[in-house]
Structures are given as C-alpha cells and as structure tokens.
Structure 1
Amino acid sequence: MANTLLTLLRKPLTNSLLSKTNNISLTSLYIQDVKYLFSKASLGLDGFSQQSEKIKLQLNNIADKFREKMSEYVTIDSKNMIFTEDLKNMVHLTENDQDIQLTVEMLKKYNKQNKSLRFGNYVFGPVVMRMFYVHNKPDLALECFKSEELTGIFDQHISFQLLLDLLYENQRYQEMLDVFQIISEKQLEGQKYPKNVIVLILAACYKLNNQESLDWALKLWTQLSEVGHIPMRRASTFCAGLAFNQGKPDIALEILSSVRNQNYTTVRNLKVVALAEIGRLDDVIPILKFVLSDDTPQNENVHTFNRDVLEKVKQAVSKSNNPEITLEFNRVEQMLIKQGHVSQTSLDEQLCSEIQRPPINRDFRAQQNFQPRGFNNEGFQQRPRRINYQRPGLSELV
C-alpha cells in the first residue's frame, strides 16, 4: 500500500482528473467544528471529577490550612518533602489558577526529590493532565509537558492523548503537530505511533484543511505504512477526508483501501463521494444498492448515506449525461429515502463525531483476550484482566 500511495503522490494528475478535482467544493465536508473528539468518559475525566468531589468533601474542614502548608513546602528554602498523598490531594482540590499553580510547583519539587524514596506505583502524568483538561488550561499543560523540571512525569500514552485532545478542543491544531514531533521521539513501550495519538494528529490535519496539512498527513501515513502500523479506522477516514477536501479523491480511495471493514458508514460514504468525483459512477451504484440488499428483518442496524454525499453523487450523475446511469441512480435514491437509509447528518459531522470508547485493539494482546496495562482515574497502574470482546453494532462504528 505504501508503494502505491507513493506512486500516486509522485504521479501528476491527468488533465481530465484535474478538470474534475478543481471543481471540488472544499467546504463540502469541512463544515462544522465539533468540540470534543474523545468523550470525557473515555479520557477518565468523569472519574477524575468524582474523585475530586470525594477528596474535597473529606478535606473540607482543613483544605485552606492544607493549601497554606503546601505553599510553605514549595518555597526555595524549605526542606520539607512533598509526599505522594500531598500531591494527590492538591491535584483534586484545585479550584482556581492559584491552586493550579501551587500544584505545578509541588509537582516540580516532587519530581526533584530522591526517586528512591518513592515506593508506590502511583503515576501523576494522567491525573495532572486531567486537572489541566477539567480547568481548560492548554497553555499550562503544554508548558509543563515541555518543562525539563517535569521530565518523565508525562511519559504515558494516555497523558499524550489527554494533552492532544485538550489542544484539539481549543482548536490548537498546529501545536498538536508540534507536540507529536516530541511524542514520536519517545517510543514508550516500544511504540513510536500510539494509535489514539495518530487519530488525534490526523484529526488536527483534517481540521487545518490545507495543502501543507495534507502533505504532513501523507508523509506520516507513508511512515506508518513502512513500519507496518495499521491505523485505526477513524485515523484512516480523517486522512481520506482531508485528501478529498484538498482535491485528491484518488489518494482518498487509496487510503480507504487500507481499512479492513469496508462497510463502516464513514468509509462507505467517503468511498462513494470519492468515486463519484472521479467519474466512477458504475462503481458507485452497486455500493448504494448493497445497503438496500442488506436491509433484512434480522438486521437491526440501518445502514445510511449522508444527505450531502448523495447530493454530490447526484451532481456527478447530472454531469455525466448518461440517461441509463441517471435513471438507475434516481430509482436507487428514492428507495434509500423511502426505506430510511439517508442521514441528515453531514459527512463532516460524522467524521468528527465524539469517540465514546476506545475501539477494539486487535493486536497480539487482544487476541490473547487480555486488556493492555493502563492507568485508572486515580493514577494507579491497572493489572491486565481478561475481557470478552463482542462485535460492536454498526451504530457504534459510525
């Protein structure tokens, strides 16, 4: 796939293809700015808020005195240590900018202390990043992530994900790409390209929606292909959507070919609109028909096409001046509408819809029915546990 994509990138478009792609409306997919990419629950933010309320209730009577004591402990001449429990409590007690700054100073001192004195397995990176996220502090989160005084604190995949998602929420897309350069050099747990991080980075490229971001995304995509990394479906659709928006439907189709399940709603819609854009209407009609043929009483999930996608197909059909194709498309379109297979949600909205939970990881550990080691909402490492995977319904795959 990498070689084919490289060939496409190096091969100049034919005049006929140029005439078609130059007329693409770059706003057809790029319409809405959806605020969140990963849901709060999937990032552990709900759990963090619950824990904060619990600790605030427990320390209600002594919270102010505790803050005063910690403020004394972080002074330059203080010889008092910052213990794990102190920092845990302060992270969850934060209510204003002063509290957050105190927490950062405590974290810096904590990180300087003799690490041999730490006997627990508490990891502060994800918890502190959740604090930044809850209080919407992208600048401070970025500053701390880059701080030499906090080296090693945020070296976890979930911390990367939280930081990038916070930047995404604040539409700091270019800074997301800059952060990725730092992340890719760390190679934690032998991974240079964490899957959720790749999703966020390609989402940033999609949102930037310019030629530079497309070049950046395709370079990354080629690197992923060369090392055998298989991006998650959402990463693939972001990259393909960006290629389409930038007038490269042929590249979009090549990227979509890497998705294992071609019947995902977003994949199917992108494939249809890209094929229509390059005049492959003979290939579009069977895809539209398949949704109708798959509409059985046993199938509880309704397969849909986005309204804006069908409109673009209709425009391509009209330009084709082919009576046979026009007749067949009109017939199929009416059946799709009648049977409820047309979604009023735009393709852009669907591409950027909130990810409710991490997609199934089908790597070796998943095949062994073990959940990868991670960090819970309170910062403790979770031990692997056996889980039973179920095939998600189509409504979960949108």
Structure 2
Amino acid sequence: MKNQGVKFTKDTYVLAFAICYKLNSPESFKICNTLREEALIKGEVLSRRASCFAVALALNQNQVAKAMSIFSQIMNPDSIACTNLNIVIHIQSNMLETPMEILTNAAEGNVSRFVKRNMFSEEVLAKVREKVKDVPALVTKFDEIYGKLHISGQVSTYSLDALLCYTPRDKKFHMLPLNRKTISQRTLQPLSKSLLAE
C-alpha cells in the first residue's frame, strides 16, 4: 500500500500494527515504529487499538521506554487492554507501586454494580505475583487483592494476546436485515409475489 501511494486509514494502521505484533521480531518492531512516526508527522490520530498493539510489541521486544512513550500518547486508556498493558509496563520497569495501586483501587473501589469495572487478565496477574514474590508484605497484600478481584468477577481467563486481538461485533450491520420488509402490508403476501402481480 505504501509503495503504491494508497492512503492508510485507522483500520489499516490497526491491521499493520497487529501484523507487526504477531510477527514479534526486531524487523517488525522497526516497521511498526516507522509507520507510527510517519502517521504522527502527517498529523494522523492513531486509534487506541493500533497504539495498544504498538505498546505490546515494544514490551515483547523489551523496549519498555518506547512502550511507556507510546502508552502515554493514548488519548483514552480506559479499555481492558490498556489497563492490563499499563500494569505490564510498570512490572517490566520494576515499579511495583503503580500496579499494586491500580489493583487495590479496582478491588476496593466502592463501585455500583451498574458501573463498568476493570477486568484483569489472569496472565497479567500471574506476572504481578511473580514480581512481588520476593517481598513478603507485597505478596500478602497481592493475595488479598487477588481474592477480592476474583470474588467480584474482575479476573478474566483471557490472555493479554486474546484481549488485544478481540474484535467487537459491529451492531449496525446485524440490524439491517431486520429492518427490511419481506411481506406486503396490503396483500400480506411475500413482497416478491406482490410486486410480480402488480
């Protein structure tokens, strides 16, 4: 597309970054960064999904500073994937206070059952536990928080990869066939028959 001068759309960036993330090589990381920088130079706003793939790829390539930089530019980091990526960024940076704070706020927040709660991947929580295992006070606190999150249904069995690659269904396209009339209101016959008769 780039060689043929085809303009990239938001979906194209998501697809390109997702491919680079799945390839997970130094070369794909370089391609992802180049595409991202070119988009920012052109003044294009990258979607949260595209940025999440770029952050995850940077983390997989142990480029934590780059992952932090990309994450800081996400406009609305309130998605499940963003929350989990934020925790992984801090774990890989050896900053344990922030993940513990995020988890504590999620577990102890006095939130109504009608308000959307943060969900955490079991895989990400296992990484947190692995990181805090050498600090007895943090292990105890983490186990308590983990129990509360589990009871409130905020622990997902999906891996971080599954959360990133989840594609929500588009409701608009599923509603179109329902609005289409198939029976004539006047003759109560199928439309195809009544049109032929008239």
- TM bin (shorter chain): 0.7 to 0.9
2:166 is the counterpart of 1:346: no
Equivalent residue, structure 1, for 2:67: 252
Q: Which has the higher contact order (CA 8 A, sep 6+)?
A: 1
Unaligned runs of 5+ in 1: 1-179, 187-191, 359-398
Do the aligned partners of residues 252 and 311 (structure 1) sit closer, same or farther apart at CA in structure 2, a change above 3 Å counting?
same
Q: Decide whether the 8 Å contact of 1:295 with 1:302 is kept in 2.
A: no
Equivalent residue, structure 1, for 2:2: 181
Per-residue Cα deviation, 1:176-209 (whole angstroms, up to 9, x for no partner) = xxxx3235x23xxxxx431111111111111111
In structure 2, C-alpha distance between the alignment counterparts of 1:290 and 1:225, rounded to whole Å: 33
After TM superposition, give the deviation of residue 322 of structure 1 in Å. Answer: 2.5
Per-residue Cα deviation, 1:276-313 (whole angstroms, up to 9, x for no partner) = 11211011111112222445225343421000000011
Per-residue Cα deviation, 1:212-263 (whole angstroms, up to 9, x for no partner) = 0001101111222222222111101111111111122332222111112222
2:149 is the counterpart of 1:328: no
**SS where residue 182 of structure 1 aligns?**
coil
2:111 is the counterpart of 1:290: no
The equivalent position to 1:219 in structure 2, one of 25, 30, 34, is: 34
Letter in 2 for 1:244: L
After TM superposition, give the deviation of residue 328 of structure 1 in Å. Answer: 2.1
Q: Report the TM-score when normalising by structure 2.
A: 0.79
Matches within 5 A, 1:378-393: none
In structure 2, C-alpha distance between the alignment counterparts of 1:298 and 1:353, rounded to whole Å: 24
Do the aligned partners of residues 275 and 293 (structure 1) sit closer, same or farther apart at CA in structure 2, a change above 3 Å counting?
same
In structure 1, C-alpha distance between the alignment counterparts of 2:118 and 2:163, rounded to whole Å: 13
Q: Structure 1 stretches (4+) deviating beyond 4 angstroms?
A: none
**SS where residue 261 of structure 1 aligns?**
coil
Equivalent residue, structure 2, for 1:239: 54
In structure 1, C-alpha distance between the alignment counterparts of 2:130 and 2:152, rounded to whole Å: 22
After TM superposition, give the deviation of residue 337 of structure 1 in Å. Answer: 1.3
In structure 2, C-alpha distance between the alignment counterparts of 1:269 and 1:290, rounded to whole Å: 14
Aligned length: 171
In structure 2, C-alpha distance between the alignment counterparts of 1:199 and 1:294, rounded to whole Å: 33
Equivalent residue, structure 2, for 1:317: 132
Q: Decide whether the 8 Å contact of 2:83 with 2:118 is kept in 1.
A: no
Matches within 5 A, 1:1-398: 180-182=1-3, 185-186=5-6, 192-294=7-109, 296-318=111-133, 321-357=134-170
**Structure exhibiting the larger radius of gyration computed from Cα positions:** 1
Equivalent residue, structure 2, for 1:22: none
In structure 2, C-alpha distance between the alignment counterparts of 1:236 and 1:293, rounded to whole Å: 29
Unaligned runs of 5+ in 2: 172-198
In structure 2, C-alpha distance between the alignment counterparts of 1:223 and 1:294, rounded to whole Å: 41
Equivalent residue, structure 2, for 1:129: none
Per-residue Cα deviation, 1:330-382 (whole angstroms, up to 9, x for no partner) = 22112111211100011101111124239xxxxxxxxxxxxxxxxxxxxxxxx
Q: Decide whether the 8 Å contact of 2:14 with 2:47 is kept in 1.
A: yes
Q: Report the TM-score when normalising by structure 1.
A: 0.41
Letter in 2 for 1:323: P
After TM superposition, give the deviation of residue 329 of structure 1 in Å. Answer: 1.8
Letter in 2 for 1:285: M
After TM superposition, give the deviation of residue 326 of structure 1 in Å. Answer: 2.4
In structure 2, C-alpha distance between the alignment counterparts of 1:342 and 1:332, rounded to whole Å: 11
- Aligned-pair identity (%): 29
